[in-house]
Chains A and B, each alone.
Chain A
Amino acid sequence: MRVPPWTVPLLVLLCAALGLAGARFLVRPSVVLDLAQAPSDADLRTTVLVVGGLFCVDTAERAAGQLDGLPGVVRFTAYASRNRAEVLYDPAVATAETIRKAIEGPVYDKETGEFLFGLYRVVEADGVKYSAP
């Protein structure tokens, strides 16, 4: 069967659109870390952060380490390819602001024993933009 040549660019565009639109059905977290047990009566909240410097599994795990031991933080979930982190916390103990500051704080490098500054920058928190990436 004869096919017009414009079928090829049309298929290219359709498949590109399919790939771009279909990505939402394949979302998987890069890192999920349970940091603390939440009290049974706690009214937990989630803060959604877009973090500059969080771009792969390693950087996501390191960002999770920033919240390790922070009172009130229950779970850290990162989506590295979207530079996105979701932090479940107890608002009676922690605030979104303390979580943001903890992530942006100095990072201890176990290999060198030094503190690294400015590794992470929260550029958006719960839909509010903070600064340019």
Chain B
Amino acid sequence: MRRLRTAFQVLVVAAVAVTGVRHALGWSMTTIEKYCPFGGLETAYALVTRQKFTCAAGELNLALFLALILLTLLARKAFCGWVCPLGAVLEWWGRLGRRWLRFSSFDGWWRPSDRTRKVLQTVLRSVVLAAVLAATWATGELVFRGYDPYYILFSAHGHDVMFWSYFILGGLLALGLAMPMAWCKYLCPLGAALWPASKPGLLRLRRSPDHCTECGACDDACPQSLPVSSVMEVRSGECTLCFECTAACPVAGALELRAPGGKP
């Protein structure tokens, strides 16, 4: 499953990078924004109030956002772990940071309590989401572009990317070394928008106390730093169903994917 997920990530990253470069070179009119589901959320207000899309956002953004909500209701934040190209790059970067700086887990240099992490995630990401949506809806422009690490990274110096945009990207990469996947965990506005759909998500990982040795390997392997070994079921809205925990688990059958209903 790890190889399959990596293949998904590599394919998406390559496709987005090629799209960005082709557009920058003038070989194609397709921009990387065209397939961004967050654009669907950004344009939703304009569509409801003015029956028009915002700026360069269009029907594909909206359709992909609606499909993403459906996916999240079924498989939690599988998008983040399997599809998001920025999430993939930051995960690979975070792994590099873990190896270089010899961190035992994806927490990095700072290991907050579960409660502190939840509060920080909720507050910081909600603030970013509210600011982006308020600015977009007030101006009718995709004002987040110049600050959006996804756009800065993959657009090959696209429209609205300024020199200071690279400082933002550089800062996030530096932060991502010390605190792997800090953007995804604490700042991503799409992550905040998906949380209400992800929390009641249908699929979840269940830990079998009969098999589990409580070695904690799953906790260290989780890119989202979830305390897998201390819960019976991973019901967190942050779980990306990446199966890193099941791959790290030394006992077969200790962690399994479950859906409600049927035999326990």
The residues of A with any CB-CB pair to B shorter than 8 Å are: 1-9, 11-12, 15-16, 18-20, 22-31, 50, 52, 55-58, 79-83, 123, 132-133
Contacts and interface: CB of A to CB of B under 8 A. Distances in A.
A2 B59 contact: no
B58 A19 contact: no
B259 interface: yes
A3 B246 CA distance: 14
Task: Using C-beta atoms within 8 Å of the partner chain, give the interface range for chain B.
Answer: 35 or more
List of 5 A-B pairs having minimum Cβ-Cβ separation, nearest first? A81-B58, A1-B262, A19-B67, A15-B71, A23-B63
A9 to B, nearest CB: 6
Given A8-B78, A8-B82, A57 B60 contact: no
A56 B159 CA distance: 12
A52 B29 CA distance: 7
Nearest to A11: B75
Given A26-B59, A28-B51, A133-B27, A18 B67 contact: yes
B67 A2 contact: no
B174 interface: no
A1 B263 CA distance: 5
A55 B60 contact: no
A26 B62 contact: yes
Contact of A28 (B31, B34, B53, B243): B53
B235 to A, nearest CB: 15
A76 to B, nearest CB: 15
A2 B41 CA distance: 33
A104 to B, nearest CB: 15
28 contacts: A3-B258, A3-B259, A5-B1, A6-B4, A7-B75, A9-B8, A12-B79, A15-B70, A19-B37, A19-B60, A19-B65, A19-B66, A20-B64, A22-B63, A22-B66, A23-B62, A24-B59, A25-B63, A28-B47, A50-B29, A57-B52, A57-B140, A79-B58, A81-B34, A81-B56, A81-B57, A81-B60, A83-B29
